[in-house]
Each structure stands twice: as structure tokens, then as C-alpha cells.
Amino acid sequence: DTGVSQDPRHKITKRGQNVTFRCDPISEHNRLYWYRQTLGQGPEFLTYFQNEAQLEKSRLLSDRFSAERPKGSFSTLEIQRTEQGDSAMYLCASTPGQGARNTEAFFGQGTRLTVV
């Protein structure tokens, strides 16, 4: 399978705990995005990387959130001191970033986070 892969698929955590999610993009894609989707809403942009550089962060990304893409391949999204309002689906997407189809975004299946 050469699609975008996310792990874990589901995560239940207690409020105040830290969680980390992983995303493996399509191998030749140099842009990677994180989105958050709450129930009944469309995905909302959180942050994106061009190779290993984090180029934009949304105001939705509080100081408790940090994302990395250390070698320009996979990415991690960490949430510290989780709150119930962090409960959502966290989606990763990748795009080629260049060429005629540079804007076609391919999404992973998401990580469903539940904070109890």
C-alpha cells in the first residue's frame, strides 16, 4: 500500500496525558499536512511541512501541540497535557508539492483521539 499511513488509528487517553501520533506520507511527496476534524465538521488546517521545514502553523495549534518531520519523511504530532476539547480525528495528508498535480492532497485514514 503506497498511500498515506497513520498510526495509531484510535487513541483513548486520560486528560492531562501526552499523546503522539505518526504519519507516513506517500514516499515521493515533499509536503505533509496535519488537519483536525471534529464531529460533523470539515477538516481544519493545523500545520504543514515542506520537506523537514515547518512552514505554517494555524492559530488552532496551541503551545501544547508540536509537530516534527525530522528527516523530511514521516511526521509526528504530539499533544501535551491533553484536554477534552482535543478529542477529534487528526488527519494527515501529503501532496507532491511540485508538478502539474502539485496540489492534489491524499489523506490518511486518521487517528481518532478520545480524551476522557
**Interacting residues toward other proteins by CB under 8 A:** 4, 6, 31, 33, 35, 40-45, 48, 55-56, 91, 93, 95, 97, 102-110, 112
CB closer to other proteins out of 91 and 115: 91
By C-beta, is 44 or 83 nearer to other proteins? Answer: 44
- Separation between Cα atoms, residue 87 and residue 58, nearest integer Å: 17
Taking a C-beta distance cutoff of 8 angstroms, is the pair 107, 6 a contact? no
By CB atoms closer than 10 A (0-12, 13-18, 19+), residue 99 is exposed
Q: How far is the CB of 69 from other proteins (least distance, A)?
A: 14
